């Protein structure tokens, strides 16, 4: 590359592209968050499977019984999908305290971890849509139609309105997420056709179509994350050359508004799923995971200076 | 404030953008409404009570059960007999909800009701304390195929019934012109829990006694039939339950003619 064509970033440094390392260890380092996510997704599924089918238990207490909709950890700690419980609340039915407490526990958990952390790290649909996105990129499909990313907010609102009208939790009754997870644990049925539908939709019709545009559960967690997400991707503004490598791999690129990120010192919370794809591809090491400095009193600028000095 | 009139050019622009906005929002709402209609159709279709679904003990009535069951499968895991299953998509039982086929594995009526204890939402009533009070369904007998009703000494359902003589009794029944009576099983709905142990035990090729949701098969006589030989309330000419009738008027003035009903009064 000749120096005459070398672009300069807003910070005056040359814009370098991301280069995939040749060595396996280098590649693994780039893929590390994908590997971690698959491990976590698989482990969660395995814990459910093992507890239901192979009697996994600790101190004679079943480890994790139920599904992602609602479960019990070690026979005492209830957990429940807060969005499912919210829909059931909209049907006008009074639920037992156990499931409500469970929903609050999970809500608190993802409020701390960043709302949509569920999407990339736990949701069983994520590997499916990730595969579709990867295949779509390899096959080079362009968009077949445009869909507003806020569609999911309308779907979220519809889920609640329809729950009130039909008298059953409207999304839970058609949710491919619950279907896939439930059928993986309790026996395969036609739910997998819904998953195939999502795969084909993501592959041929809209890039990141399901997770990025339609899924109301993702929309629900993005609202949670906007309010309270504590784990976020830190953005070290002065080092950024606006090379755009992060946006290329991001499934929700609207969160990478670099101007805003430079001002706030973090990638915009809410839609960000904390998948960590952007972190290893950044040639300038501008991005990394960080706890939102709720407990620290340090300002973003001093933090950035500290980092540069280090 | 005076009416600040925008220059014509700008007004046209705002008109256009307003029209655009209104059009876009109308379109958006139409799409959302259409989607909502299809969605609610799907949900209603799916949630339509399957007439044959037998639910775990303590299940609320079907509509409430469908609304409150979170489809987590904790009841399925809690059942020590592997009786329960969650419906998969495409099955004709509402998706994800627990059910059982008594002919495969019936409910063995655990006294501690572990499925109900496991239910986090209350779709299986938390206040069900005695398993004998549960109403999963009602056993009905197909007399044309029941061995006992053919005059054979079967009575397996009666002997297997966990509430023997309460839920299933044996009565004698004349056998045409023979002097030997038939011993026939009779189900009593006031005690039958619908556990399905009888259906499981029935020796015929296809069960001649089956559990079905009570509302599918159970009729209702109606309040106005007074079966005098069965009830202890006095029979009157007013077809009303005793506590609905006005209190007897004892304060009639002496010498006055008694009511029209005096013929029925015991003192006559």
> Does any domain span residue A103?
yes
CATH architecture of the domain formed by B44-133: 2-Layer Sandwich (3.30)
The answer to whether residues A268 and A257 touch, using CB atoms and an 8 Å cutoff, is yes
The answer to whether residues B179 and B111 touch, using CB atoms and an 8 Å cutoff, is no
User: What proportions of chain A, in percent to the nearest 5, are helix, strand and coil?
Assistant: 55, 10, 35
Mutate to test the interface with A, among B29, B32, B70 (most CBs of A within 10 A): B70
Q: Is the pLDDT of residue B52 over 90?
A: no
pLDDT for the residue numbered A243: 87
Using the beta-carbon criterion (under 8 Å), do B72 and A69 form an inter-chain contact?
yes
Task: Look at the alpha carbons of A261, A264, A266, A267 in this order and tell me if their dihedral is positive or negative.
Answer: negative
Placement of tokens 């090491």 in the chain:
A285
The answer to whether residues B185 and B163 touch, using CB atoms and an 8 Å cutoff, is no
For domain B138-216, is the CATH number 3.40.50? no
The answer to whether residues A79 and A71 touch, using CB atoms and an 8 Å cutoff, is yes
Q: Which residues contact B42 (CB under 8 A, 6 or more apart)?
A: A173, A174
* Facing A191 at nearest CB: one of B76, B89, B118: B89
The answer to whether residues A111 and A224 touch, using CB atoms and an 8 Å cutoff, is yes
Q: Is the pLDDT of residue B56 over 70?
A: yes
Shortest distance, CA B189 to any CA of chain A (angstroms): 29
Using the beta-carbon criterion (under 8 Å), do B70 and A172 form an inter-chain contact?
yes
pLDDT for the residue numbered A310: 46
Q: Which residues contact B71 (CB under 8 A, 6 or more apart)?
A: A67, A69, A172, A178, A182, B86, B95, B96, B97
Q: Is the pLDDT of residue B254 over 60?
A: no
The Cα A90–Cα A302 span in angstroms is: 46
The Cα B20–Cα B246 span in angstroms is: 71
Query: What residue numbers bound the domain in which A123 lies?
Result: 34-223
Chain B residues with beta carbon closer than 8 angstroms to that of A101: none
Chain A residues with beta carbon closer than 8 angstroms to that of B122: 94-96, 99
Q: Please name which of B105, B93, B78 lies closest in space to residue B197, comparing C-alpha atoms.
A: B105
Q: Please give the share of chain B, as a percent, with pLDDT higher than 90.
A: 53
Structure tokens at B262: 């005096």
Q: In order along chain A (310 residues), what is the average pLDDT of each group of 10 residues? A: 63 80 87 93 93 85 89 90 94 91 94 90 94 91 82 92 91 91 86 90 90 94 85 85 88 87 84 90 86 53 49
Split at pLDDT 50, 70, 90, the class of B130 is: very high
Cα end-to-end span (Å), chain B: 93
pLDDT for the residue numbered A301: 47
The Cα A292–Cα A306 span in angstroms is: 16
Q: What number of CA atoms fall less than 13 Å from residue B29's CA on the CB side?
A: 6
pLDDT for the residue numbered A145: 79
Cα end-to-end span (Å), chain A: 31
Instruction: Give the chain A residue whose CA is nearest to the CA of B122.
Output: A96
Q: What number of CA atoms fall less than 13 Å from residue B78's CA on the CB side?
A: 23
* Facing B68 at nearest CB: one of A88, A185, A188: A88
> Does any domain span residue A186?
yes
pLDDT for the residue numbered B2: 43
> Does any domain span residue A194?
yes
Angle between helices A97-113 and A216-228 (to 10 degrees): 60
* A177 phi, psi to nearest 5 deg: -65, -55
> Does any domain span residue A112?
yes
Task: Look at the alpha carbons of B239, B243, B246, B252 in this order and tell me if their dihedral is positive or negative.
Answer: positive
Using the beta-carbon criterion (under 8 Å), do A99 and B85 form an inter-chain contact?
no
* Facing B46 at nearest CB: one of A96, A99, A173: A173
The Cα B10–Cα B6 span in angstroms is: 6
Q: Which residues contact B176 (CB under 8 A, 6 or more apart)?
A: none
Chain A residues with beta carbon closer than 8 angstroms to that of B66: 167-168
Mutate to test the interface with B, among A148, A186, A187 (most CBs of B within 10 A): A186
Split at pLDDT 50, 70, 90, the class of B241 is: low
The separation between CA B256 and the C-alpha centre of its own chain, rounded to angstroms, equals 54
- Identify the helix (H) or strand (E) that includes residue A38: helix A32-53
Domain ranges of chain B: 44-133, 138-216
* Domain count within chain A: 1
The Cα B75–Cα A52 span in angstroms is: 11
The number of beta carbons lying within 10 Å of the beta carbon of residue B65 is 23
DSSP string, chain B: ----PPPHHHHHHHHHHHHHHHHHHHHHHHHHHHHHHHHHHHHHHHHSPPTTPPPPTTBPPHHHHHHH-----HHHHH-TT---EEPPTTSSS-TT-EE--TTTS-----TT-HHHHH-SSSSB-TT---GGG--S-EEEE-TTT-TGGGT-S--HHHHH-TTBTTTEEEEEEE-TT-SSEEEEEEE-TTT-----HHHHH--SSS-SEEEE-HHHH-----TT---TTT--SPP-SS-S-GGGSPPP---PPTTSPPPGGGGGSTT-
Angle between helices A82-90 and A97-113 (to 10 degrees): 130
Radius of gyration from C-alpha coordinates of chain A = 21
Q: Please name which of A216, A139, A235 lies closest in space to residue A176, comparing C-alpha atoms.
A: A216
Give pLDDT tens digits for B136-188: 999 999 999 999 999 899 999 999 999 999 999 999 998 888 888 899 999 99
The Cα A286–Cα A175 span in angstroms is: 37
Task: Look at the alpha carbons of B42, B46, B49, B51 in this order and tell me if their dihedral is positive or negative.
Answer: positive
pLDDT for the residue numbered B219: 92
Instruction: Give the chain A residue whose CA is nearest to the CA of B46.
Output: A173
The Cα A42–Cα A122 span in angstroms is: 8
pLDDT for the residue numbered A2: 45
* Facing A78 at nearest CB: one of B91, B120, B126: B120
Using the beta-carbon criterion (under 8 Å), do B39 and A99 form an inter-chain contact?
no
Using the beta-carbon criterion (under 8 Å), do A179 and B42 form an inter-chain contact?
no
Structure tokens at B41: 């159709």
> Does any domain span residue A146?
yes
**Chain B: residues touching A (Cβ < 8 Å):** 28, 32, 35-36, 39-40, 42-44, 46-47, 63-64, 66-68, 70-74, 76-78, 85-91, 94-96, 118-122, 126
* Facing A158 at nearest CB: one of B32, B88, B89: B32
Angle between helices A82-90 and A216-228 (to 10 degrees): 110
Same fold: B44-133 with B138-216: yes
Q: Is the pLDDT of residue B4 over 60?
A: no
* Facing B70 at nearest CB: one of A65, A99, A158: A99
Using the beta-carbon criterion (under 8 Å), do B72 and A67 form an inter-chain contact?
yes
* A307 phi, psi to nearest 5 deg: -65, -40
Using the beta-carbon criterion (under 8 Å), do B73 and A170 form an inter-chain contact?
no
The Cα A261–Cα A258 span in angstroms is: 5
């Amino acid at each position: 590359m000749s120096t005459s064509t070398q672009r300069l970033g807003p910070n005056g440094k040359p814009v370098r592209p991301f280069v995939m390392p040749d060595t396996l260890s280098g590649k693994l380092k780039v893929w590390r968050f994908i590997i971690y996510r698959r491990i976590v997704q698989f482990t969660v599924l395995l814990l459910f499977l093992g507890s239901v089918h192979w009697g996994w238990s600790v101190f004679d207490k079943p480890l994790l019984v139920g599904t992602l909709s609602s479960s019990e950890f070690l026979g005492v700690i209830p957990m429940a999908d807060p969005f499912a419980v919210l829909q059931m609340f909209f049907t006008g039915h009074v639920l037992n305290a156990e499931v409500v407490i469970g929903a609050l526990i999970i809500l608190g958990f993802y409020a701390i971890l960043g709302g949509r952390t569920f999407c990339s790290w736990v949701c069983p649909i994520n590997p499916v849509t990730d595969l579709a996105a990867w295949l779509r990129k390899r096959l080079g499909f362009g968009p077949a139609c445009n869909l507003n990313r806020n569609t999911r907010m309308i779907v979220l609102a519809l889920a609640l309105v329809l729950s009130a009208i039909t008298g059953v939790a409207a999304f839970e009754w058609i949710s491919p997420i619950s279907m896939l997870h439930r059928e993986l644990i309790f026996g395969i049925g036609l739910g997998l056709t819904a998953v195939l539908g999502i795969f084909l939709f993501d592959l041929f019709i809209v890039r990141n179509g399901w997770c990025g545009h339609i899924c109301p559960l993702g929309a629900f967690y993005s609202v949670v994350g906007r309010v309270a997400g504590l784990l976020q991707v830190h953005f070290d503004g002065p080092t950024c050359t606006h090379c755009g490598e992060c946006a290329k791999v991001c499934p929700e690129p609207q969160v990478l508004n670099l101007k805003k990120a430079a001002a706030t010192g973090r990638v915009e919370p809410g839609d960000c799923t904390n998948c960590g794809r952007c972190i290893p591809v950044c040639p300038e090491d501008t991005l990394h995971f960080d706890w939102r400095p709720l407990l620290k009193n340090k300002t973003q600028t001093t933090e950035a200076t500290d980092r540069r000095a280090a | 404030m005076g009416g600040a009139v925008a220059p014509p050019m700008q007004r046209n622009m705002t008109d256009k953008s307003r029209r655009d906005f209104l059009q876009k929002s109308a379109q958006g709402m139409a799409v959302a409404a259409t989607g909502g209609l299809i969605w609610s159709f799907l949900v209603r279709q799916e949630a339509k009570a399957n007439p044959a679904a037998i639910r775990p003990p303590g299940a609320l009535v079907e509509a409430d059960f469908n609304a409150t069951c979170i489809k987590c499968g904790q009841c399925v895991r809690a059942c020590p007999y592997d009786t329960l299953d969650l419906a998969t998509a495409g099955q004709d039982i509402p998706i994800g909800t627990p059910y059982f086929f008594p002919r495969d594995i019936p409910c063995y009526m655990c006294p501690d009701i572990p499925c109900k204890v496991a239910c986090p939402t209350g779709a299986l009533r938390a206040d069900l304390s005695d398993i004998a009070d549960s109403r999963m369904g009602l056993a009905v007998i197909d007399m044309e195929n029941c061995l006992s009703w053919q005059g054979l000494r079967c009575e397996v359902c009666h002997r297997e019934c966990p509430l023997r003589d309460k839920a299933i009794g044996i009565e004698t029944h004349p056998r045409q012109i023979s002097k030997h009576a038939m011993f026939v099983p009779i189900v009593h709905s006031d005690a039958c829990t619908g556990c399905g142990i009888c259906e499981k035990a029935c020796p015929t090729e296809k069960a001649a006694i089956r559990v079905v949701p009570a509302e599918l098969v159970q009729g209702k006589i109606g309040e106005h039939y007074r079966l005098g030989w069965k009830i202890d309330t006095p029979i009157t000419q007013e077809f009303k339950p005793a506590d609905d009738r006005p209190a007897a008027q004892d304060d009639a003035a002496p010498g006055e003619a008694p009511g029209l009903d005096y013929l029925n009064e015991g003192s006559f």
